[in-house]
Amino acid sequence: MKNYLRSGVSISAMAFFLACNQGDKKAGAGTPDPLAAHRDTTVDPRQDFFDYANGGWIKANPIPAEYSSWGIGNLVKEELYNRLRAINEKAADNPGDAISNKIAAFWQSGMDSVKLNADGIKPIASHLQAIDAVTNIQELATLSAKLSVFTGVLCGVYIGQDAKNSEVMAVQFWQGGLGLPNRDYYFNTDDRTAKIRAAYPGHISKMLQFTGMPAGQADAAATDIVALETILAKSSRKLEALRDPNANYNKMPVSQLNKIAENIDWKAFLEQQGISKFADTVIVGQPEFYTTLSNAIKSQKLDTWKNYLKWQVINAAAPYLSDTISAADFAFYGKLMRGQEKQQVRWKRVLDAEESAMGEALGQLFVKEYFNANAKKRYENLVEDIRGALKTRIQQLTWMSDSTKEKALYKLSKITKKVGYPDKWKDFSAMDIKAQSYFENNLRAMEWWHQYQVAKLGKPVDRTEWDMTPQTYNAYYNPSNNEIVLPAGIFTVPGKRDEELDDALVFGYAGASTIGHEITHGFDDEGRQFDADGNLKSWWSKEDEEKFNKRAAVMVQQFNEYVVVDSLRINGKATLGENIADLGGILLGWDAFQKTEQFRKNEKISGLSPSERYFLGYSLGWLSHTKKEELARRVLTDVHSPAKFRVNGPFSDVDAFYDVYGLKPGDKMYRPDSLRVRIW
């Protein structure tokens, strides 16, 4: 999956997009060529291509105070914010059909700060009262099941395709229950993580005091909660370990889960969520976590668990409550953890929440105006160009046996492409959005989504469904469906209409960093373990698998060497799949681009050759810069490498890049041929 932070844009950013054009031909009628304008020509591309390609824009566009990073995704999101705000304001002024009424009600509840501040803790009072009424462990577990629809309490339960039988939806259990992003925050000793961990009890105490708990009692409760979460964290798997699909697939009857975690009645837990009749068998990702959870249910005081539930409730609800509560939540998770200096304006926060609640409803309006049939056709054709490039590469591999090649080619031929927007839209008519509190509207949306997922159990898998909205600036590969999903928003270049974009830019920006990236995910270290039908099933010979792993190990070592911030390095194993996909995308995009008329004519645009524009086009996809606090968080929690290394890292492995820019030994971007990654 491509990973972007979606946010807003400053006037200075847009002004930079309107900077003077230069070169031999115009890149677009309305605005200047971003590939030329964004460069920092004082930087040698052979030493740091990311800074060369994007440094001019970065220097001209500091990170706004309300953000922890700033870049291409933010610029696209700003265009989307303004379009979606207009849709909401129109609905609020003149609601018409059922969807417009829901949009208006959601928008108004989120924008009414007077009511939000007057209500204070009131919207979650009934949940806090229910927690106070708990008298034993089983009542605690039953209530936890109910609360887990909108909180991260205890664990993660969700509905998803059975990895080894992709035609079936299954109930799945995952580790969870932590208030910090993952286990490493409880144990790492670097200064940044230690500072966050030291501040964590104080933050919990402050939030509990909003529920009416006295300060001294809240301090003691916070200490107990952190100790409890630390117990759960000890049995939580590391980021890299969660990427092994076989190790995280443990299918068992509910009766066996009751033996592994005997202090919780899991049948009753599932009944509370409305899914027990479909859940004789479940898939447990990390059984050892559930054993530890069960033991802690028994060993820890009931009051500790009740306070933990209160913390989880107010932590989940904080963005939808008063300004005072929301600001306290931001001070810890936004300012301290991510380096944001101030909170995002309310209307953008409301639009983000609405996107999660019913973004596909907004998407229907979005695509009518902003993604026409010509654009859809262009990118559908580009998918086939990229597919053809990978077909050729597989056929020409020297390290893979013919029998495995045959299966790889078959899987490639079966990849489904979804471009722009779904053919069938979801029906949100039953979502209970109306004139009620902002928290309640968000809760009703979460409950609707829960029921929507539960309704899939016992029915054929709907392979036409999308898991992203059309306006999303992102994309994904789903191994269980063997599909790539490419929302209309991912192809947006701010300030440009699609017809203004030359092929070199498009093949780099969309063909390499998006389409080629997602197709390669079907053949990365994780995706390659799924067959053409989307089942977790080995189709490799043992010898070919060993050769793949040996080549992948070269990439692990390469990225382990990159220092991101302070002493923190990229986790090469955790980021391996994304790094393989980045490299694969660049190679496939380049192969496909060489067949275009623009490449053959070799005419310059804005003083740049088509080959240069291709590599700059890819780099445009990662145009951004990030605060140190956020970089440190991502190193610990994200399976994607930071943007700079998603450019410089894979480019150092691409022979064509060496030819175009004349890299020589001694250049910082140079890697000896023996150390370059050779997989696909």
Length of the chain (residues): 680
Using the predicted structure, report yes or no on whether residue 27 has a pLDDT greater than 50. Answer: no
> What's the pLDDT band for 279 if we cut at 50, 70, 90?
confident
Q: What percent of the chain has pLDDT over 90?
A: 88
With a cut of 50, say whether residue 18 has pLDDT above it.
Answer: no
pLDDT (0 to 100) of residue 1: 59
Q: How many whole angstroms separate alpha carbon 655 and alpha carbon 634?
A: 29
Confirm if 634 and 624 have CB atoms less than 8 A apart.
Answer: no
Provide mean pLDDT across the span 248-257: 96
In CATH, what is the architecture of 11-81+350-422+466-675? 3-Layer(aba) Sandwich (3.40)
pLDDT at 39 over 60: yes
pLDDT at residue number 371:
81
| pLDDT tens for each residue of 449-502 | 999 999 999 999 999 999 999 999 999 999 999 999 999 999 999 988 889 999
Does the pLDDT value for residue 554 go beyond 80? yes
**pLDDT number for residue 524:** 97
Residues 376-396 have pLDDT tens digits of: 999 999 999 999 999 999 999
What pLDDT band is residue 15 in, cutting at 50, 70 and 90? very low
More confident residue, 566 or 15: 566
State residue 9's pLDDT score. Answer: 26
List all residues 6 or more positions away from 422 whose beta carbon is below 8 Å from its beta carbon: 360, 464, 465, 466, 470
pTM value? 0.92
pLDDT tens, position by position, 313-341: 999 999 999 999 999 999 999 999 999 99
**From CA 670, how far away is CA 662, in angstroms rounded?**
10
Tens digits of residue pLDDT in 403-443: 999 999 999 999 999 999 999 999 999 999 999 999 999 99
Span 610-629, pLDDT tens digits:
999 999 999 999 999 999 99
Name the average pLDDT for the chain: 93
Q: Which CATH superfamily is domain 122-320 in?
A: Neutral endopeptidase , domain2 (1.10.1380.10)
Average pLDDT of the segment spanning 69-94: 91
Does 272 have pLDDT greater than 80? yes
pLDDT for 11 equals 23
pLDDT digits over 158-182, tens only? 999 999 999 999 999 999 999 999 9
Which of left, alpha, beta for 437 (phi over 0: left; psi -120 to 50: alpha)? beta
Model confidence band, residue 203 (pLDDT cutoffs 50, 70, 90)? very high
Specify burial of residue 193 (Cβ count, 10 A radius: 0-12, 13-18, 19+).
buried
For the chain, the domains span 11-81+350-422+466-675, 122-320
